[in-house]
Structure 1
Amino acid sequence: MVSNATTGSEPITLRYEDGTIRLEGLPPERSVPDAPGLEFDPRTETGRAPAFRYASLLSALGDEFDAVEDRVLDLETLPALESAYELRGYQRAALDDWLATDRWADAPSAASEVRPPERAPAGVLELPTGSGKTVIALKAIERLAVPTLVVVPTIDLLEQWRRELEREFSVPVGQFGGGEQRLEAITVSTYDSAYLKADAVGDRFGLVVFDEVHHLGGEGYREIARLLAAPARLGLTATFERPDDAHEVIAAVVGPLVHRVDVDDLAGEHLAPYDVKRLEVSLTAAEREEYEANQEVFASYLARSNISMNSGSDYQELVKRSGNDPAAREALLARQRAREIMLGSAGKLEALEGILADHPGERTIVFTAHNDLAYDVAERFLLPAITHQTGAAERREILSRFREGTYSRVVTSNVLDEGVDVPDASVAVVLSGSASEREFTQRLGRILRPKSDGSRALLYEVISEETGERRVSDRRR
């Protein structure tokens, strides 16, 4: 570590500029230990670092230089914020663990002229769906009382968050997305809109909350976190780890996983106790014949081509080859047809008929992997269906009627896995799904809100026996 030394009569000055932190007065030959990402920009003859490095950069400069002038953040003054929510014990523990990560709690020293503008806790909280992650975030906003950007994946969540923030804090709440581009000291944005706006408003917030933070692992979305200077960062998710290991990127730009609560930790006290039943159904003779034939086409091509399908890159290689290799295309189509048979077998509809008969009048959500099966279920059992093709107004109407009890059952293809305020249900049926642990956890979370009568929630998995679906089911568990 280099001892403190000024660079001359002019102090080092930090400014925000288009998603970066610009350092004026830093000589090109001068390095700053513990300041990753800091480079000399010969075009402007200044130092420059990604905006998300602001907190660590300010701390490092405070250790290295006597005179540092911080002009990065342009924050409005908020009125006193007070949330009426009272945290449960597990929620308070999560918030406390996040607050304890404050990178400026013990810095800078009294001798330094560097003064951090506000606290800078940073990290991710993993709690089950239905456990009140939004409440924890509201209390975090209350505690820090700084301009805050909340980033969410869907328009439904955008509207839910805006209403909740307005109700809790009685302040104007801005919105990026859903046809509006309005900046306020507290603003809610979709990931898509934040991606477009981050470099323009990156100095206007002291705290950023990423709801469903696992989305931030996407190649484009991760730039949102990099372009924002907000020193305080909170990520919320039910499932932090991603199969592509992109959670490591999230940890770098938001903060590490600092608190985790498992579903089983809350079931029975804060969430409904639950059971999972796996029902295996047989393919018909015709389905079995077609399934095996398509599997043989697929497996034969893999054997000839030396592709193992042990990773996502293997599948991408097959897709790539299918563009100019007829045999690869035939194999890919055969795999898709085999999956369609496996995931949408006739036996699954018969099993669903029995499940619905066993739970008359109970609020039930039927999950499918594809729209075709969702519409087959809707037609056969006269259930309202919600898919990606369902308009926003119709979807709200269906959920409203489900909430009030006019509808006791709905069927959906992935749309209700996350990002939608789904009314309480006690039964979920997974007719088909992916191997994603996240998807399974989110579907389970849809039935875990405590029941007034203390009854247990129940999730059914219906899988086609002697197919690859058994392996899919094992992986998502």
Structure 2
Amino acid sequence: MAIELRYRDGTIHLADGEDDRSSDLESLPGVEPDPRSGGYRAPAYRYADLRDAIEKGGLPYEERVFDARGGDSLDLATDYRLREYQTDALDAWEDAGRRGVIELPTGSGKTVIAIAAIAAVGRPTLVVVPTIDLLNQWERELEREFSVPIGRFGGGEQRREPITVSTYDSAYLRADDVGDAFEFVVFDEVHHLGGEGYRDIARLLPAPYRLGLTATFERPDGAHEVIADLVGDRVYRLDIDDLAGDHLAAYDIKRIEVELTPEERQEYETAQETFVDYLKSTNLQLRSGSDYQKLVLRSGNDPRAREALLAKQRARNVMMNADAKVDALERVLDRHRGDRIIVFTAHTELVYRLSRRFLLPAITSETGATERRQILERFRDGDYSRVVTANVLDEGVDVPDANVAVVLSGSGSEREFTQRLGRILRPKDDGGRALLYEVVSDETAEERVASRRR
């Protein structure tokens, strides 16, 4: 009798009537006995390895994993003409067995590569994205390119089609229900998959073909290693400098250092001293994010730890929102009157302060989807030439072309910096260079933050 493979509740179930094959089955990748059914089970994401091992071992089997809802092959074609590096990326993914992560800068056309991959595989596909904005963008792009219905999980809709786009949140809730419907899964902004909950999306899907897309694969917490196990290794990578001047705009980065006012300096030094004194008295050294989390946990029952954290936050607010930064921005806006400018900050309060001061359209996490779409459309049409935002345009939003970015404040994250730089790097019709300004408070911890994100 042949081994029968079926998908059940986020696992692969193996049924076999041959008692003398138990040792063969238990040696397969991820397979364990299942006392409830009398058969065997393996994690769904191990399906491809499991099938390959069965074939290599010469064991007879019947594949029923996608029979119920997977459907027939899809007749797909794309009119996209891939650039040379996009073709190289797609070829590298094909050579890796149609599994793996492609890392390319923002604006380099990762979506184009994914659509070419979907057409090449020609099987039911689930595209997973982090935001509603990206959900809408992908849905429009797939409808424009393919003549098959496009499904949607998210934004109030739960509609499954042979090609379906889902948010990470919806995919997390539905993965074990629809795992037998999709043989190919594309994870856009795949670094999100490293989050504890989101990992289950990839674990519960048996899809043998997997593609991850990102501008910044490696995560500070090391979770990219988990992603490599669930999606595949990084198979192709180019950074901004590899494409700048040819496929992306050439660019310059200029740092503007500003001084704190005497009042700001006093407040900053006092708060910073409180924080540093606590670290010294407890022999704590903050070398990583996990060290900082330990301090946060301490603050729950240690009043001095809580005081230190609050002091650290006060110091950060002073250096990130210094008055001189507003003056520096005024000079930049005046210097670039004819340019299209995006201003990035770390704090919503500063966004609204700048919006009032310079009459800039503002986009924050508090901005409704309709208002945000209208602002970006007017920016795209040229009605607005400047926009100020706090973090929400870093990724997951189709931002219109701009050629100047101003980072008034931000984290030490390389990912955040790369995303912000990528917002101004789309090729310019006139061959002009993009320009990013970093505005940094002198003689503060922000100097270290700026250096770290580079």
TM-score for the superposition, normalised by structure 2? 0.97
Instruction: Name the structure 1 match of 2:263.
Output: 286
Alpha-carbon displacement from aligned partner over 1:350-373 (angstroms, at most 9, x marks no partner): 110111111002110000011011
Secondary structure at the aligned position of 1:203 is classed as helix
Question: 1:64 aligned to 2:57?
Answer: yes
Alpha-carbon displacement from aligned partner over 1:264-320 (angstroms, at most 9, x marks no partner): 111011000000001111011000011000001001111112211112222111111
Say if 2:151 and 2:163, in contact at 8 Å, map to a contact too. yes
Separation in 1 of the partners of 2:319 and 2:26? 57
Say if 2:74 and 2:123, in contact at 8 Å, map to a contact too. no
Alpha-carbon displacement from aligned partner over 1:182-240 (angstroms, at most 9, x marks no partner): 00000000000000000000011111000000000000001000000110000000000
Separation in 1 of the partners of 2:426 and 2:43? 41
Give the letter aligned to residue 147 of structure 2.
S
Instruction: Name the structure 2 match of 1:19.
Output: 10
Q: Aligned-pair distance for 1:32?
A: 4.8
Say if 1:23 and 1:48, in contact at 8 Å, map to a contact too. yes
Map residues 64-213 of structure 1 onto 2, 5 A cutoff.
Answer: 64-74=57-67, 75-102=70-97, 121-213=98-190
Separation in 2 of the partners of 1:451 and 1:24? 59
Q: Aligned-pair distance for 1:374?
A: 1.0
Secondary structure at the aligned position of 1:202 is classed as helix
**RMSD across aligned positions (CA):** 1.2
Question: 1:312 aligned to 2:289?
Answer: yes
Q: Which has the higher helix share?
A: 2
Figure out how many residues of one structure are paired with residues of the other and give that number: 450
Say if 2:127 and 2:188, in contact at 8 Å, map to a contact too. yes
Judge which range, 27-36 or 233-242, deviates more.
27-36
Give the letter aligned to residue 358 of structure 2.
F
Say if 2:253 and 2:436, in contact at 8 Å, map to a contact too. yes
Say if 2:127 and 2:166, in contact at 8 Å, map to a contact too. yes
Q: Aligned-pair distance for 1:337?
A: 0.4
Instruction: Name the structure 2 match of 1:262.
Output: 239
Judge which range, 323-332 or 455-464, deviates more.
323-332
Q: Aligned-pair distance for 1:34?
A: 7.1
Secondary structure at the aligned position of 2:181 is classed as coil
Alpha-carbon displacement from aligned partner over 1:35-81 (angstroms, at most 9, x marks no partner): 33211112222111110100000010112243111111132225421
User: Which aligned runs of 4 or more in structure 1 are off by greater than 6 angstroms?
Assistant: none
Say if 1:287 and 1:345, in contact at 8 Å, map to a contact too. yes
Separation in 2 of the partners of 1:139 and 1:447? 25
Separation in 1 of the partners of 2:412 and 2:51? 43
Judge which range, 312-321 or 279-288, deviates more.
312-321
Give the letter aligned to residue 35 of structure 1.
L
Separation in 2 of the partners of 1:326 and 1:126? 44
Separation in 1 of the partners of 2:270 and 2:24? 65
Say if 1:78 and 1:185, in contact at 8 Å, map to a contact too. no
Separation in 1 of the partners of 2:28 and 2:419? 38
Alpha-carbon displacement from aligned partner over 1:322-363 (angstroms, at most 9, x marks no partner): 112211111110000000001110111111011111100211
Say if 2:29 and 2:53, in contact at 8 Å, map to a contact too. no
Instruction: Name the structure 1 match of 2:416.
Output: 439
Question: 1:339 aligned to 2:322?
Answer: no
Q: Aligned-pair distance for 1:382?
A: 0.7
Instruction: Name the structure 2 match of 1:380.
Output: 357
Separation in 1 of the partners of 2:169 and 2:150? 18
Change (3 A) 1:430 1:34: farther
Map residues 183-262 of structure 1 onto 2, 5 A cutoff.
Answer: 183-262=160-239
The unaligned stretches of length 5 or more in structure 1 are 1-9, 103-120
Separation in 2 of the partners of 1:35 and 1:290? 63
Instruction: Name the structure 2 match of 1:118.
Output: none
Give the letter aligned to residue 14 of structure 1.
L
Separation in 2 of the partners of 1:87 and 1:43? 50
Separation in 1 of the partners of 2:258 and 2:386? 22
Say if 1:32 and 1:60, in contact at 8 Å, map to a contact too. no
Give the letter aligned to residue 384 of structure 2.
Y
Say if 1:22 and 1:47, in contact at 8 Å, map to a contact too. yes
Secondary structure at the aligned position of 1:130 is classed as coil
Separation in 1 of the partners of 2:314 and 2:343? 22
TM-score for the superposition, normalised by structure 1? 0.93
Separation in 2 of the partners of 1:135 and 1:350? 41
Secondary structure at the aligned position of 1:30 is classed as helix
Secondary structure at the aligned position of 2:256 is classed as strand
Q: Aligned-pair distance for 1:97?
A: 0.4
- The one of 301, 317, 323 equivalent to 1:324 is 301
Separation in 1 of the partners of 2:419 and 2:313? 25
Say if 2:212 and 2:231, in contact at 8 Å, map to a contact too. yes
Q: Aligned-pair distance for 1:390?
A: 0.2
Separation in 2 of the partners of 1:390 and 1:93? 39
Q: Aligned-pair distance for 1:33?
A: 8.0
Judge which range, 399-408 or 297-306, deviates more.
297-306
Map residues 289-438 of structure 1 onto 2, 5 A cutoff.
Answer: 289-438=266-415
Judge which range, 299-308 or 77-86, deviates more.
77-86
- The one of 43, 50, 73 equivalent to 1:50 is 43
Give the letter aligned to residue 278 of structure 2.
Y
Say if 2:187 and 2:211, in contact at 8 Å, map to a contact too. yes
Say if 2:345 and 2:351, in contact at 8 Å, map to a contact too. yes
Give the letter aligned to residue 50 of structure 1.
P
Secondary structure at the aligned position of 1:287 is classed as helix
